[in-house]
Structure 1
Amino acid sequence: MKIEDNRDNTRHFSELVVGDVFTCENGWYIKTMEMRDARGNISYFSGNAIALGDKMSGCLCNFDDDRKVELLDDVTLVLN
């Protein structure tokens, strides 16, 4: 059997809107507004996405605007 994946939802991170779910390097993420931990003029950490999944779930991540990601445009949250 030959399986071909012809999906092409690749785009730049900057093209996503807040709430979009996407994959990058085998991880799943949701885009958020940019968050910064700043004290005075010093920025300690910033992030614009939250990791979803097993190992990094809930971690704040930072993606450059020109980073290639794959939009997941048909995502369902299932609560049991």
Structure 2
Amino acid sequence: MCYDEGTLQAYLDGELDEITSKNIEEHVKTCSTCRQKLEELKFINEFTANALKTSNIDLNEAWMTFNEKLSRENNKRKGVVSLFT
């Protein structure tokens, strides 16, 4: 029985109970398909974590800019709607 990517990701994230985690550890010792999936997920996790660490984006500023633009768009739409009501 192979594990799906969601379960393997949950394993990597430490979200599974001890018994399930042990079962996965034993399974990947003999299943090259699951072992490969697990290695790919580890690589993606590490790549994403490193990319986030090296990002020079100020997330608070980006969020505030996004909210301001969203508010402006909502106000524009309200103005257009009020012309027709």
Q: Normalising TM by the smaller chain, what interval?
A: under 0.3
Higher strand share: 1
Provide the TM-score with structure 1 as the length reference: 0.22
Instruction: Report which of the two has the higher share of helix.
Output: 2
